[in-house]
Amino acid sequence: MSTTRSPAGVSAHELRDMTPEQAMLAGTEADGVHIVHRRDRFPVRGTKAEKRAERGVALAFLVSALAGVGFVVAFVALPFHWHLPGTPQTFRFYTPALGGLLAVMLLFMGVGLVLWAKWLMPEEEVVQDRHDEPSSEEDRLMTQATLAVGLEDTGLPRRSLILRTLGLAGGAIATVPLVAMVGAMIKKPGKQLEHTLFAPNTKLFPPSGRIPLVYSDWRRVSPDDLLPGSIATVFPGVHEEGPDGKNGITSAASPTLVIRLRPGQQIEARKGQAGFGWPPDAPEYLAFSKICTHAGCPASLYEQQTTRLLCPCHQSQFEVLKDAKPVFGPATRSLPKLPIDVEIGSDGRQYFVARADFNEPIGPAFWERS
């Protein structure tokens, strides 16, 4: 057997004769780790202090184990089904009980481990060499040469034909998956953002094609439903069957607010929107898109006193009497206004319909919007 020596300069033969502590120290030296200070925390074994520390750690582990048992018991035994208020609400303790027991189990496991290390394991101050100097000049030169010769071996510097065609093939391989994946996901926007389901539809509603305004339960909206100063969220009453059928209530562009002004309130209509309200000459009912022109949240908080609509997401505020013109916050554009009219239904009551679609895209701005 050859007498190979470890990096620390100790032979296997010497190591076998060492105590484990000495052999461990030889190992640290071999790894460039220097123990500058190492001391047993309890040089006198079996003192009261040592036993106390040991019992403390053991107690932590015991508490952890008990909490684990408690968790299993609670998990199985406690009631967890939800019950209506007014009935026994014991289920409300289920999650807190589980959380508390789980936390105690984990916490005391962690505390036990940390205390074990801090109280009982020897205290050590160890210094390790970083070996962070840059690669040696020799290493750099040899690696550089290896790379250079390897490149020369491939002949690429000379064979520009291969280099170029390889580049082409590589480009193809990088592009094709991208095209295949992204290409499959691309959908042409077209004019979809510029229309809503309020667009007249003679097929569904002959002969005028005017879309009825409905509530979220498909009841039609009548002027009598609203008290002065109140609002209602309405939708285009378009409902086609089938998986791809248009649904005016679930469509994200549909939500619209009908506002009934209070007596004496006059509106200042925007250009081209005069007569959009109802009655056309002295409008008392107005309909605006509910979708905020800033970021698309429903601008749904209406303050009767100030006649302002507030969007709760970013606090854009719209003055209803100025045709929902933004007066504060980050929104730039007015809420689009829906031209409405009233028809007499089969039951003889008056019901709202949309005379036409919004005259501009609803919701947040986008690049193609003029």
Partner 1 sequence: MSTTTRRSNGPRTPQGKAAKFFDDRLNLAGPMRKQLNKVFPDHWTFMMGEIALYSFIVLLLTGTYLTFFFDPSSAETVYHGRYLPMQGIPMSRAYASTLNISFDVRGGLIIRQIHHWAALMFVGAMLIHMFRVFFTGAFRKPRELNWLIGLTLIVLGIIEGFAGYTLPDDLLSGTGLRIADAIMLSIPVIGTWVSFLVFGGTFPGDVIIERFYIAHVLLIPAILAALIGAHLALIVRQKHTEFPAPGRSEHTVSGERVFPTYAAKAGGFFFIVAAVLAALGGLAQINPVWLFGPYNPAQVSSGSQPDWYMMFLDGSTRLFPSWEVRLWGHTLAPLFWPTVVLPTILLTLAIGYPFLEAKMTRDTLPHNMLQRPRDVPVRTALGVMALTFYLVLFLSGGNDIIAKAFDISLNAMTWGGRILLLILPPLFYIVTYRICLGLQRHDREVLEHGVETGIVKVLPTGEFIEVHQPLGPVDAHGHGRLAYAGTQVPKRMNQLGAGTPLRHVRGFFYPVKEKPEIQAALDELEALEVDQHDVQHQLTD
Which positions from 139 through 178 interact with partner 1, judged by CB under 8 A?
Answer: none
* 140-to-134, 135, 146 alpha-carbon distances in Å: 9, 6, 10
Short-list 310, 309, 198, 301, CA closest to 249: 198
7 token code pair: 């990096």
Beta bridge partners of 359: none
Contact residue for partner 1 among 210, 220, 260, 294 (CB under 8 A): 294
What mask of x and - would describe binding to partner 1 in positions 303 to 332, judged by CB under 8 A? ---------xxxxxx--------x-xxxxx
Coil vs helix vs strand at 214: strand
Q: Which is nearer to partner 1, 61 or 163 (CB)?
A: 61
Q: Around Cβ 319, how many Cβ atoms within 10 Å?
A: 18
In the region spanning residues 252 to 271, those forming contacts with partner 1, defined by CB under 8 A, are: 252-255
Residue 90 in the binding site for partner 1 (CB under 8 A): no
| Residue span 48-87 as binding mask against partner 1, x where in contact by CB under 8 A, dash where not | -x-------------------------x----xxx-x---
CB of 295 to partner 1, least distance (A): 4
Q: Which of 333, 340, 352, 353 binds partner 1 (CB under 8 A)?
A: 333
Give yes or no for residue 9 binding partner 1 (CB under 8 A): no
Give the pairing of strands 325-328 and 340-344: unpaired
Query: Considering only 199-207, 248-256, 267-275, 346-354, which stretch makes contact with partner 1 by CB under 8 A?
Result: 248-256
Q: Which of 250, 268, 303, 345 is close enough to bind partner 1 by CB under 8 A?
A: 250
| Binding of partner 1 by 182 (CB under 8 A) | yes
Q: Should residue 109 be labelled a site residue for partner 1 when binding is judged by CB under 8 A?
A: yes
Out of 56, 70, 229, 296, point to the residue binding partner 1 (CB under 8 A): 296
First to last CA, the chain: 88
Nearest to 248 by CA among 205, 216, 271, 277: 216
Q: Name 104's Cβ contacts closer than 8 Å, sequence gap at least 6.
A: 63, 64, 67, 70
Closer to partner 1 at the Cβ: 128 or 208? 128
**Distance between CA atoms of 217 and 254, rounded to whole angstroms?**
14
